[in-house]
Amino acid sequence: MSTQQGAPLITARDLTKSYGRTGALRGASVELGAGEILAVTGASGSGKSTLLHCMAGIVAPDEGAVAYGRRRVDQLSESDRTLLRRTDFGVVFQFGQLIPELTALDNVALPLLLAGTARGEARERADAWLERFGVRGQAELRSGEMSGGQAQRVALARALVTEPKAVFADEPTGALDSLAGEQVMTALVHTAREAGTAVLLVTHDAQTAAYADREVELRDGIVVESPQVAARAAVEASHEG
């Protein structure tokens, strides 16, 4: 089944970002459609995480634009970007990054509490999301007491509990064995589809990318749209100099 190509939810245009003399992004453009699951692949150091950080409003690009509806994410103040992430976006990293002192349930309830939801309701909703990710049995455990796959599913529940428009997942299976990785991806794709949440899925793993509706590749900070485009770029590069 092909997904409907609706209006773009987030558009990144000609992003550049340098760290010292390293050009992490060198004119990267990509669109994330509403409800679309888009894989961003590429070699280590090709700029995947930097692109995700720019699109999620975690860092501002040096140049270029990130549009989310009428908002220019790249032009928001740091505090407005934080607010936007709290309400509209969810983020998952390679190592779940749960708060180790909190139980799974309290980790998942936290974004709701920050958004002003009453404690009882926050815990109820967190409980329901743990259930959806198959980790309700781990509700009272801390991250050190869970397997990597369980902790990552708790992290996904935390990213989705506020019912964001987009989830940004940076190598969400990168630290897992292939079975746990499959469980995490199945849970993510299933719940994102159900909720109509768009997912920007950064991965260097083809098996993980295969869960996406569409795939783009980053090469040296530039998005290469398709295998055909990649082949053409390679031919052009071979004719240079």
The residues of the shown chain that bind Mg ion, judged by CB under 5 A, are: 48-49
Nearest residue to 27 via CA among 224, 230, 241: 224
Closest approach of Mg ion to the CB of residue 171, in Å: 6
- State the pairing for strand pair 166-170/89-92: parallel
Closest approach of Mg ion to the CB of residue 162, in Å: 24
Closest approach of Mg ion to the CB of residue 47, in Å: 8
Count CB atoms within 10 A of the CB of residue 106: 18
Q: From the list ligand ADP, Mg ion, none, pick the one residue 46 interacts with, judged by a Cβ distance below 5 to 8 Å according to partner type.
A: ligand ADP
Classify burial at 100, counting beta carbons within 10 Å of its beta carbon; exposed 0-12, middle 13-18, buried 19 or more: exposed
Q: Which is nearer to Mg ion, 11 or 49 (CB)?
A: 49
Q: Which is nearer to Mg ion, 48 or 214 (CB)?
A: 48
Nearest residue to 46 via CA among 184, 219, 238: 219
Q: Which is nearer to ligand ADP, 71 or 97 (CB)?
A: 97
Bridge partners, residue 25, by sequence: 17
Closest approach of ligand ADP to the CB of residue 228, in Å: 22
Q: Which is nearer to Mg ion, 34 or 95 (CB)?
A: 95
Name the site residues for ligand ADP (rule: CB under 6 A). Answer: 19, 22, 24, 42, 44-50
Bridge partners, residue 170, by sequence: 202
Q: From the list ligand ADP, Mg ion, none, pick the one residue 19 interacts with, judged by a Cβ distance below 5 to 8 Å according to partner type.
A: ligand ADP
Closest approach of ligand ADP to the CB of residue 198, in Å: 20
For Mg ion, the nearest residue by Cβ is 49
Q: Which residues are CB-contacts of 239 (< 8 A; sequence separation ≥ 6)? A: none
> Using CA atoms, how far apart are residues 41 and 166, in angstroms rounded to an integer?
18
Bridge partners, residue 232, by sequence: none
Count CB atoms within 10 A of the CB of residue 8: 17
Q: From the list ligand ADP, Mg ion, none, pick the one residue 77 interacts with, judged by a Cβ distance below 5 to 8 Å according to partner type.
A: none
- Nearest-5° angle of CA 211, CA 144, CA 205? 20
Q: Which is nearer to ligand ADP, 126 or 222 (CB)?
A: 222
Classify burial at 208, counting beta carbons within 10 Å of its beta carbon; exposed 0-12, middle 13-18, buried 19 or more: buried
Q: From the list Mg ion, ligand ADP, none, pick the one residue 24 interacts with, judged by a Cβ distance below 5 to 8 Å according to partner type.
A: ligand ADP
Q: From the list Mg ion, ligand ADP, none, pick the one residue 11 interacts with, judged by a Cβ distance below 5 to 8 Å according to partner type.
A: none
Q: Which is nearer to ligand ADP, 20 or 120 (CB)?
A: 20
Closest approach of ligand ADP to the CB of residue 164, in Å: 22
